[in-house]
Structure 1
Amino acid sequence: MAEATGAPFVAVKGVTKKFGTFLAVDDVSFDIERGEIFSLLGGSGCGKTTLLRMLAGFEEPTKGRIFIDGKDVTDEPPYERPVNMMFQSYALFPHMSVEKNVAYGLKHEPLSKGERADRVTEMLELVQLQDFRGRKPHQISGGQRQRVALARALARAPKLLLLDEPLAALDKKLREHTQFELMSIQEQTGVTFIVVTHDQEEAMTLSSRMAVMDKGRIRQIGTATDVYEYPKNRFVADFIGSINLFEGRVLSVTGETARVEAEDLGEVTVATERDIAAGDAVTLAIRPEKIALARQAPEGGNQIAGTVASLAYFGKDSLYRVRLASGRVVSANALNARRGGEGQWVADWEDEVFLSFDPSAAIILTD
């Protein structure tokens, strides 16, 4: 992971983009350090791809400035920026071999024929495709085509590589494998990556940091741990992973502990570092894996009885949907730590159970 070294490598300052009356990107600012893998994460229409296109120079900001490596590039065309872009479709030439596809981006570079050939070989070795150099795109797998596109994008030695949904066309298992390949290649080259994705797991795996976007604005920037464990608002808490949300009101605050009357849960004790006071309306957010499931009521702590309404087995863990007396259904995850559940209590449909959670497991949200 890159460390801050003073001036940011990429600085986006107050960037806004309008298409007619539609506000696609709304006063966005953030910094990226050299050598980071930085993700722009959000759902369809949140503005992440428009922001990426402005970084590439394919769109002009309505307002604001963009700096790359200390230089204002806001008004520079794409071909004058130290940037390359890898498109979701890969955009490979079907009639060209793997080698020629990689070499295509170098044809306007001031290189001799030998230097160009050496550069292509270097890139093919980097993505481990040297044995496939003579094949056409239709003769290699989807994952290999993705690596050809990456090699072509890196061949011109850009300072910044923009990747638009780079793994969207791959199946789940290949996507997971390729994520680690991308991280390894980025570490070897030292090129700064900005990745646009709607896939939360992909962003959390790849990124040194990510920006979570909604309706053209950035709602939170941070590491995977920051946005998952310490969301700053309800949108981020609800968008990243699975979560249970309960409306409530603060009854009292003592130091870093609050007593909250929560809808469906009753009175619970939660840890908080937020500036809250008695009477404040809040939302309690609790991840399913932070909730324990038991046959008998545990001693002390936050607990509530319920009945297993449904369950799903995922191999490594199981998801239980527990109906409370109020009718509210709460999700809880249980790790399947032993093969076949040997010696491990496993709840079944319609079982009466108790849910419990530590005070530190609940996140208090005020926004």
Structure 2
Amino acid sequence: MAESAPNPIKEQPFIRIDAVSKTYGDFTAVDNVSLHIRKGEFFALLGGSGCGKTTLLRMLAGFVAPTSGRIWIDGQDMEGIPPYDRPVNMMFQSYALFPHMTVEKNIAYGLKHESLTAAERRERVREMLDLVQMSSLAGRKPHQLSGGQRQRVALARALAKQPKVLLLDEPLGALDKKLREQTQFELTNIQYKTGITFVVVTHDQDEAMMLASRIAVMDKGSVRQVGSATEIYEYPNCRMVAGFIGSVNMFDGEVQYSSESAMTVLVPKLSASLTVKPDHRVLPGDKVGVALRPEKIFINREKPTGARNALSGLVDDLGYFGKNSLYRIKLSTGAVLSVSVVNAHRTGESERVAQWEDEVWLSFDPSSVIILTE
């Protein structure tokens, strides 16, 4: 994912969002959000419909004024500054290309009010065409382009004015799955080459994890967690984040024993006490959430020897997805656990690790169990 790229990110916040709220009558769209985004960062606002992410993006752009709080960009207070005077540009989900203009003229359109000579304008357009690999299609009109090509033109037009910040509102939503995956790599490469701070809004968790160096997970107008893809997936700080990011098995539990290096948690739904390697200290008697990712669970026909956590059940359902198979295992308590198995070898249906109604054993490492206190 993008977090491994050697982006030249500085420590001082380039965008400061301080205690920003937006209300519409009795409805609160954004609720006291504070975020610091660094220069040169690819930052994602991630959440479901109605979580406030698009409203927050529109406040950054200047299309919507905060009800309270302040926004700074590159040290400048944005209060009262209209969209056209902000050091930002926005790429919309619809791309909003002019159908009667060629690719070249679409890209050049935003430069007509810039203090550039005709030669400088032509050179800037040429640079943008090269950047998005559209030079050979400069004379075409939008209806002659594929969805991915139109997306590149919209990106080039947004970048042509050399904004300090590029805002992207669900930029890949109109593309099919394979093209979306390809374009994600292209976007991260372009962001790295230009060094421009990108802020993207998306409801697609995979897209956010692929694109962004850091992600803010939003829910009901608030930011629930900020971190890298690894941090929010492997170390969610609450049940909402654990449930929203990826697939997860989640149950209620009660801490029976707790020390700095080990913990035992009773999970009634599993009729078992689980051994856990704690990430943070909780006390005996505390009520907690117990989360376990499907890919962290091992499935076997025989009871595993030496496993700290082992449960038995029957295969209630299974699905084959090519690269992996998903098993739903029903325990004697009625609880169902999802287990994901990578199909690392070519096998037939009869060679699967288990079939419907087979009795199997599940095991998992103590460090794979996530304990949630919120």
What's the TM-score bracket when you normalise by the shorter of the two chains?
Answer: over 0.9
Paired with 2:206 and 2:36, the residues of 1 have a C-alpha distance of 22
Task: Answer yes or no: is the 8 Å Cα contact 2:107–2:125 preserved in 1.
Answer: yes
Aligned with residue 219 of structure 2, among 214, 227, 230: 214
Q: What is the match of residue 287 of structure 2? A: 281
Q: Percent identity?
A: 61
Q: What is the match of residue 226 of structure 1? A: 231
Paired with 1:326 and 1:7, the residues of 2 have a C-alpha distance of 52
How big is the shift at 1:274?
Answer: 1.7
- Asked if 1:319 is matched to 2:326, the reply is yes
How big is the shift at 1:176?
Answer: 0.3
**Aligned Cα root-mean-square deviation (Å):** 1.3
Paired with 2:147 and 2:232, the residues of 1 have a C-alpha distance of 31
Task: Answer yes or no: is the 8 Å Cα contact 1:249–1:262 preserved in 2.
Answer: yes
Task: Answer yes or no: is the 8 Å Cα contact 2:9–2:40 preserved in 1.
Answer: no
Q: What is the match of residue 270 of structure 1? A: 276
- Asked if 1:135 is matched to 2:134, the reply is no
Paired with 1:199 and 1:245, the residues of 2 have a C-alpha distance of 21
How big is the shift at 1:270?
Answer: 0.6
Q: What is the match of residue 38 of structure 1? A: 43
Paired with 1:33 and 1:254, the residues of 2 have a C-alpha distance of 37
Paired with 1:19 and 1:109, the residues of 2 have a C-alpha distance of 36
Q: What is the match of residue 292 of structure 1? A: 298
Mapping for residues 88-99 of structure 1, pairs under 5 Å: 88-99=93-104
Q: Which runs of 5+ in 1 are unaligned?
A: none
Paired with 1:271 and 1:246, the residues of 2 have a C-alpha distance of 17
Aligned with residue 315 of structure 2, among 308, 317, 325: 308
What amino acid sits opposite 1:13 in the alignment? Answer: D
Q: Which moved more, 1:290-299 or 1:4-13?
A: 4-13
How big is the shift at 1:275?
Answer: 2.4
Q: What is the match of residue 182 of structure 1? A: 187
Paired with 2:121 and 2:279, the residues of 1 have a C-alpha distance of 57
Q: What is the match of residue 192 of structure 1? A: 197
For the residue of structure 2 that corresponds to 1:364, the secondary structure is strand
CA deviation profile, 1:6-62 (whole Å, cap 9, x unmatched): 421111000000111110000000101111100000000000000000000000000
- Asked if 1:121 is matched to 2:122, the reply is no
Q: What is the match of residue 365 of structure 2? A: 358
Q: What is the match of residue 249 of structure 2? A: 244
Q: What is the match of residue 332 of structure 1? A: 339
- Asked if 1:153 is matched to 2:158, the reply is yes
Mapping for residues 252-263 of structure 1, pairs under 5 Å: 252-263=257-268
Call closer, same or farther: CA 1:4–1:97 in 2, change over 3 Å.
Answer: closer
Aligned with residue 69 of structure 2, among 54, 64, 70: 64
Q: Which runs of 5+ in 2 are unaligned?
A: 1-5
Call closer, same or farther: CA 1:342–1:328 in 2, change over 3 Å.
Answer: closer
Q: Which moved more, 1:163-172 or 1:264-273?
A: 264-273
Paired with 1:256 and 1:38, the residues of 2 have a C-alpha distance of 34
How big is the shift at 1:260?
Answer: 0.8
Paired with 1:67 and 1:343, the residues of 2 have a C-alpha distance of 61
Task: Answer yes or no: is the 8 Å Cα contact 1:37–1:209 preserved in 2.
Answer: yes
What amino acid sits opposite 2:238 in the alignment? Answer: N
Scaled by the length of structure 1, the TM-score of the pair is: 0.98
CA deviation profile, 1:271-313 (whole Å, cap 9, x unmatched): 1122211100011100000010000011231011101111111
For the residue of structure 2 that corresponds to 1:94, the secondary structure is coil
How big is the shift at 1:264?
Answer: 2.4
Scaled by the length of structure 2, the TM-score of the pair is: 0.96
CA deviation profile, 1:217-266 (whole Å, cap 9, x unmatched): 00000000000000000000000000000111011113221111112221
For the residue of structure 2 that corresponds to 1:55, the secondary structure is helix
